[in-house]
Amino acid sequence: QSVLTQPPSVSAAPGQKVTISCSGSSFNIGNNYVSWYQQLPGTAPKLLISDNNKRPSGIPDRFSASKSGTSATLGITGLQTGDEADYYCGTWDTSLSAGVFGGGTKLTVL
């Protein structure tokens, strides 16, 4: 059981938009920055978004994120088959004094 809750899977057609939610509490998302990671099949995770909504160099602006209260959302527009991956949210949990991840969401581009 992960501290952060994500839907197990989402799907959408190529070219469409999808959102992935990440729900937590005041101990984690409510008082800390949220990051998002993309894990393509058979590869290591990669940072997609940091500090709630900042894209590292090289990440296309089709990827965006936001945070409100104790929840965060990742959005992907103009879906491509190459976006099929597992997506994880992550943050710090002040009650655990440790980092935490969501359970991950598998994106299928139909």
Partner 1 sequence: EVQLVQPGTEVKKPGESLKISCRGSGYSFTVYWIGWVRQMPGRGLEWMGIIYPGDSDTRYSPSFQGQVTISVDKSISTAYLQWSNLKASDTAIYYCATGYNIKTFDYWGQGTLVTVSS
Site residues (CB under 8 A) for partner 1?
2, 32-33, 35, 37, 39, 44-47, 50-51, 56, 86, 88, 90-92, 96-104
> 58 is written with which tokens?
């090289």
Residue with tokens 């959102």: 19
> 37 is written with which tokens?
């990671």
Nearest by Cα to 102 from 13, 39, 54: 39
Residue with smaller CB distance to partner 1, 52 or 77: 52
Min dist CB 24 to partner 1, Å, is 13
> 91 is written with which tokens?
């943050």
Min dist CB 16 to partner 1, Å, is 25
Residue with smaller CB distance to partner 1, 19 or 39: 39
Residue with smaller CB distance to partner 1, 83 or 87: 87
Residue with tokens 């980092």: 99
Q: How far apart are CA 5 and CA 70, in angstroms?
A: 11
Min dist CB 86 to partner 1, Å, is 8
Nearest by Cα to 59 from 48, 43, 51, 50: 48
Min dist CB 95 to partner 1, Å, is 10
